[in-house]
Amino acid sequence: MRLGLQVPNFTWPNGQSQLGDTFGLIAERAERAGLYSLWVMDHFFQIRSVGPSENEMLEGWSALAFAAGRTNRIKLGTMVTGVTYRHPGLLVKTATTLDVLSHGRAYFGIGAAWNEEEHRGLGVPFPPLAERFERLEETLQIALQMWSGDEKPYHGKHYTLERPLNSPQSVQKPHPPILIGGSGERKTLRLVARYADACNLFTFPIPELRRKLDVLRSHCEAVGRPYEQIEKTTLGRMHITRDGRDGSLSPQAAIDQFAALAEIGIDQALFSMPNVSDLEPFDVLANEIVPVVEKIPVAGRS
């Protein structure tokens, strides 16, 4: 099983003047701890479940490019880019640039977008949900066409690209893995089955997660896609300390949670940490958690 770190919060005790240094250090520590991937949200305002809108929020793809320069191995992705934020052709160029400059370490995390406040605040159009899903599907089609090297015009309902040229091409072949975030059963998981290399679900209780995976399996069967081709990931929050103090998770408690996810077929568990700016959780991950979790077999994988 693989582990990945999400960084959703950039408001840290040492203040904004040290924000870049702290984030770079977090990226380096995540890599040294043996984590497989590093993720940032793609939002422009902080989201209400994390903190007030006014809190610091870095632009996601620029932050990943900065992290790429501080690391050598760890995979990098947005969790996830809202389809409404950038024109599809420019978004594919941005993701490709990260993949090229990081020597093939980019994930293409994308979703239908939801945060109306930041759209209105920065003047970004926020169409109705049905249209956002239409735009998401067209963006996925454009991304796959551009990464295939096909330069013929694309004419969709919402987007027109007369020459979708993508040069240089991505390092990863056939393209950076496409991860679609969200657990909607009728639209999101259907798009995963048709277009994506990975899905991301919130860390629901195990029975609910199992049911979501069954829905994904049925969508895969409907389009003739092997369910096993799709990387299954989850996203949660974990407060990890050496001794499990103050209601945090001890190393063994964290391992037990990861093992439960692997048992139902989760390939990669992503998590954020409220104490991410401290050294302690990375020491615990490196010495007590990652070496154990890497050996946990994932159900359904040979």
pLDDT grade for 67, boundaries at 50, 70 and 90: very high
- Whole-model pTM over 0.85: yes
Read off the amino acid at residue 210.
R
Digit-coded pLDDT (tens) for 227-266: 999 999 999 999 999 999 999 999 999 999 999 999 999 9
For residues 272 and 237, is the Cβ–Cβ distance under 8 A? yes
Residue 14: predicted pLDDT: 85
Q: Report the percent of the chain where pLDDT is more than 70.
A: 100
Cα angle 83-132-211, degrees, rounded to a multiple of 5? 90
Angstrom distance (rounded) from CA 54 to CA 47: 9
What mean pLDDT is predicted for residues 16-29? 96
Q: Please choose, from the candidates 76, 80, 79, the residue with its C-alpha nearest in 3D space to the C-alpha of residue 38.
A: 76
Residue 262: predicted pLDDT: 98
> Is residue 302's pLDDT more than 80?
no
Q: Please choose, from the candidates 95, 94, 77, the residue with its C-alpha nearest in 3D space to the C-alpha of residue 39.
A: 77
Instruction: Identify the helix (H) or strand (E) that includes residue 223.
Output: helix 206-223
Structural domains of the chain in order of their starting residue, each with its CATH number: 2-293 (3.20.20.30)
Digit-coded pLDDT (tens) for 168-195: 999 999 999 999 999 999 999 999 999 9
* DSSP-derived 3-state class of residue 82: strand
Residue 15: predicted pLDDT: 83
> Is residue 28's pLDDT more than 80?
yes
What mean pLDDT is predicted for residues 100-123? 97
Residue 154: predicted pLDDT: 98
